[in-house]
Structure 1
Amino acid sequence: MEEHRCRGQGRVVVVCVAFMLVVSGLFIYLPAKGEAGGSATVSSAGSQEKTIAGEYIVMFHAKSRITSSTGETRRALAALMLELQGEYLASRYGFAVVRSYDAIAETTGKGMFHVRSDLAARDRNMEEKLLSLLGQDLLIESVAPNREQRLISTP
C-alpha cells in the first residue's frame, strides 16, 4: 500500500488541507450571486454566529508612505499611523479602541481597528447611524459590525 504524506509542497498541502476539512465535517458556505443573504457565513455542525452590539471592525485606506518604507522606519510609521487613526476614531465617533492590528498596518499600510461604542451597544438606532456614518467617511475603506463566530458548539 502506498504511503501519502503532506510535505509542505504547494499542491500537496492544499489537497491535504482540503481532505482534512472534508473529513472533519467543516464546510464553508458562500451564497451564490442571486441567493438571499449578502454576506458569507461559516457553518459546520452546530456553528453559531452573532453580531456584538456596538462593536465594529474598521479599516482605513492604505498609506503608500508605509508600504514604500522598510525596517524600523516602516514599523515607526505604522505605529504613528495607528495612534493617529485611533485618536481620530475616538474624537470623531466617540469610540473606545479595543484593539489595533499592527501586523496588518506594517504589511499593508492599512490601519485596522476593533472599536466599541457603549452608546451604540445600548441603542440600536445609534448603532445603525454610526455604521452609516463610518461607511460614508472618506478616510475609511470599510467597516463591518463585529461578529462572534463559534465553529464548535458545546452541549
Structure 2
Amino acid sequence: MMVAVATMATLGIVAPQASATENPSITGVAISPNASAATRALAAADPKAVQDTANLCGAGYKLELVERLPDARRFGTLFQYQNSASNECALFDNNLGTSKYMKLSVCEVDDGHRACSTDAGYFTQYAGPVRVTDGFCARITAIMKDSAGASDSSALINRVEPAVPCD
C-alpha cells in the first residue's frame, strides 16, 4: 500500500477532492439536493453560521437556502431549512452588529388558509427561528429597519420570497 501511495505521489496522481457543490453536508449539516449552487457556495464560505443556525432549528433539518440580503453588502443573511416531513424553519441573521428592528415571518400559502409564524423585535444577532410545521408551501418575509416605526419603503431589507422548493 505504501509503495502504491508513493508511486502515485511521484507520478503526480492525487485523489480528486469533493467540491462544495458535491458535498452533501457542511460541518455535519445536510445540504438539500434542491439547494442552489449559490447556496452551496455561501454555506461552504461560512460553515460555522450554517451549523449555528441549523442547531437552532433542531435535528433532522437540511439546508435549503442561504441568501445574503439585501445583496452582496450582506446586512443580513436568510437561512432556510426543511426536514423530511417538509416542515420549514427559517432564521434571519443580523450581520451589522448593531440592534435593528427585524421581522421574520414564514406563512403557509394554501387556498385562503394562512397561518404564520413570526418573530419581530430589536435584535443584534438574529430573528427566528420561525416554522411552518404542516408541510404546506410557505412564503418567507425578512424585514430589517432602523426602527419599527419606519416605513417598509425605507427598510434596509424587505425580502419576500417563496420557501424553497415551493414555486
* TM-score relative to the length of structure 2: 0.25
Larger Rg: 1
TM-score, L = length of structure 1: 0.27
Which structure dedicates a bigger proportion of its chain to strand? Answer: 2
Structure number having the greater helix percentage:
1
